Structure 1
Amino acid sequence: MSAPPASPSARPGPAHSPTPPEDPDHGLDRSALLALAAILMGVGLGTLDTAIANTALPAIAHDLNAPPAASIWVVNAYQLATVALLLPFAALGDRIGPRRVFMGGLAFFTLASLACALAPTLTLLALARGLQGMGAAAIMSVNIALIRLLYPASRLGRGVGMNALVVGVFFAVGPTVASLVLSVADWPWLFAINVPLGLLALGFGWRTLPHSTPRDHGFDPLTAVFTALTFSTLIGALGAAAQQEPWPLVAIPASVTVVAGALLLWRQAGHPAPMLPVDLLRRPLFALSVLTALSAFATQGLAFVSLPFFLEQVLHRNPVDTGFLMSAWPVVVAAAAPFAGRLSDRHPPGLLGGIGLAVLSGGMLSLALLPEQPGTLDLVLRLCVCGAGFGFFQSPNLRALMSSAPPERASGASGMIALARLTGQASGAAGVALCFALGGTHGAKTALAVGCGTAALGAAASTARLFTRQR
Structure 2
Amino acid sequence: MKPAIAEPLSTIADNPPQRSAHGALASLALATLLASLGASVASVGLPVLAQAFDASFQLVQWVVLAYLLAITTLIVSLGRLGDLIGRRKLLLAGIALFTLASALCGLAPSLWLLIAARALQGVGAAIMMTLTLALVGETVDKARTGSAMGLLATLSAVGTALGPSLGGVLISGFGWQALFLVNVPLGLLTLSLAWRFLPAGYPAQKTGRVGFDGLGTLLLAFTLGAYALAMTLGRGSFGALNIGLLLAAVLSGGWFVRTQKRLASPLIPLPMFRDRLLVSGLATSALVAAIMMATLLVGPFYLAIALGLPPTTVGLVLAAGPCVAAFAGMPAGRLADRFGVRLMRLAGLATLMLGCLLLSLVPPALGIAGYAVAIVVTTLGYAMFQTANNTSVMAELPAHQRGAIAGLLNLSRNLGFLTGASLLGAVFASALPTNGIGATTPETAAHGLHVTFAIAFAMAGLALLIALKYRDPEPSPERQ
**TM value normalised by structure 1:** 0.91
Q: Deviations over 1:197-230 (max 9, x none)?
A: 1011111111221212112431022211111111
Q: What is the aligned partner in structure 1 of residue 82 from structure 2?
A: 93
Q: Distance in 1 between matches of 2:99 and 2:315?
A: 28
3-state SS of paired residue (1:268): helix
1:133-181 per-position Cα deviation (integer Å, ceiling 9, x unaligned): 1111111121111111111222211111111111111112221111222
Q: 1:280 aligns with which of 255, 258, 272?
A: 272
1:60 aligns with 2:52: no
- The partner residue of 2:388 within 387, 396, 403 is 396
- Which runs of structure 2 are paired with 1:242-261 in the superposition (5 Å)? 243-247=236-240, 249-261=241-253
The question of 1:107 aligning with 2:96 is answered yes
1:84 aligns with 2:73: yes
Specify which of 122, 125, 137 is matched with residue 133 of structure 1.
122
For the residue of structure 1 that corresponds to 2:130, the secondary structure is helix
8 Å Cα contact 1:365-1:449 kept in structure 2: yes
Q: Are residues 1:45 and 2:61 paired?
A: no
For 1:6, give the aligned amino acid.
Answer: K
Whole-angstrom CA distance in 2 between matches of 1:125 and 1:310: 34
Q: Distance in 1 between matches of 2:321 and 2:97?
A: 32
Partners of 1:226 and 1:265 in 2: how far apart? 9
Is structure 2 residue 398 aligned with structure 1 residue 406? yes
Equivalent residue, structure 1, for 2:444: none
Query: How far apart are 1:272 and its partner, in Å?
Result: 5.6
Q: Deviations over 1:86-144 (max 9, x none)?
A: 01101101101111221111111111111111112222211111111111111112111
Matched AA of 1:114: A
* RMSD (Å), alpha carbons: 2.4
Q: SS of 1:316's equivalent?
A: coil
Q: Which residue of 2 aligns with 1:74?
A: 63
Structure 1 residues 242, 190: closer, same or farther in 2, change over 3 A? closer
5+ long unaligned stretches in structure 1: 21-29
Pick from 193, 205, 223 the counterpart of residue 215 of structure 1.
205
Q: What is the aligned counterpart of 2:228 among 228, 235, 248?
A: 235
Paired residues of 1:286 and 1:401 also in contact (CA < 8 A): yes
Provide the C-alpha distance between the structure 1 equivalents of 2:83 and 2:266, rounded to a whole number of angstroms: 10
Is 1:183–2:172 an aligned residue pair? yes
Cα distance in 2 for residues equivalent to 1:123 and 1:307: 32
| Superposed displacement of residue 31, structure 1 | 2.1
State which of 444, 461, 468 in structure 2 corresponds to 1:463. 468
Partners of 2:64 and 2:461 lie apart in 1 by 30
Structure-1 separation of matches of 2:126 and 2:389: 20
Deviation for aligned residue 1:288? 0.7
Gaps of 5+ in 2: 5-10, 433-439, 441-446
TM-superposed deviation, 1:331: 1.4
Q: Pick closer, same or farther for the CA change 1:461–1:382 going to 2, 3 Å.
A: same
Aligned-partner SS, 1:405: coil
Pairs aligned (count):
454
Secondary structure of the residue aligned to 2:431 is helix
Letter aligned with residue 340 of structure 1: A
Residues 334 and 454 of structure 1: is their aligned pair in 2 closer, same or farther, counting only changes over 3 Å?
same
Distance 2:261 2:418 in 1: 28
Partners of 1:244 and 1:437 within 8 A in 2: no
Would the alpha carbon gap of residues 19 and 460 (structure 1) be closer, same or farther in structure 2, given more than 3 Å must change? farther
Of 8, 16, 20, the match for 1:31: 20
Within the candidate set 109, 113, 124, 2:113 is matched to 124
Letter in 2 for 1:221: G
Kept after mapping to 1: 8 A contact 2:357/2:453: yes
Does the CA-based 8 Å contact 1:242-1:433 persist in structure 2?
no
Aligned counterparts of 1:470 and 1:163: Cα–Cα separation in 2: 29
Residue in 2 that maps onto 1:23: none
Query: Do 1:294 and 1:421's aligned partners in 2 also have CA atoms closer than 8 Å?
Result: yes
Deviation at 1:246, TM superposition (A): 2.7
Pair 1:387-2:383 in alignment: no
**Counterpart amino acid of residue 456 in structure 2:** G
Query: Which residue does 1:366 correspond to in 2?
Result: 358
1:306 aligns with 2:298: yes
Contact 1:161–1:337 (CA under 8 A) maintained in structure 2: yes
Q: Match for 1:246: what amino acid?
A: G
- Partner Cα distance (1:60, 1:373) in 2: 38
Q: Secondary structure at the match of 2:365?
A: coil
- Deviation larger for 365-374 or 280-289: 365-374
Q: Scaled by the length of structure 2, what TM-score is found?
A: 0.89
Name the SS of the counterpart of 1:263 in structure 2.
helix
| Deviation of 1:7 (Å) | 9.0
Kept in 2: contact 1:357–1:389 (CA 8 A)? yes
Question: What is aligned with 2:339?
Answer: 347
Report how far residue 297 of structure 1 moved.
0.8
Segment of structure 1 superposing worse, 455-464 or 76-85: 455-464
After TM superposition, the structure 1 stretch with the greater mean CA deviation from structure 2, 373-382 or 166-175, is 373-382
Which residue of the partner structure matches residue 281 of structure 2? 289
Query: Counterpart of 1:6?
Result: 2
CA–CA separation in structure 1 for the residues paired with 2:162 and 2:104: 24
Question: Hey, what's the Cα distance between the residues in 2 that align with 1:351 and 1:218?
Answer: 38
User: Does the aligned pair in 2 maintain the 1:298–1:424 contact within 8 Å?
Assistant: yes
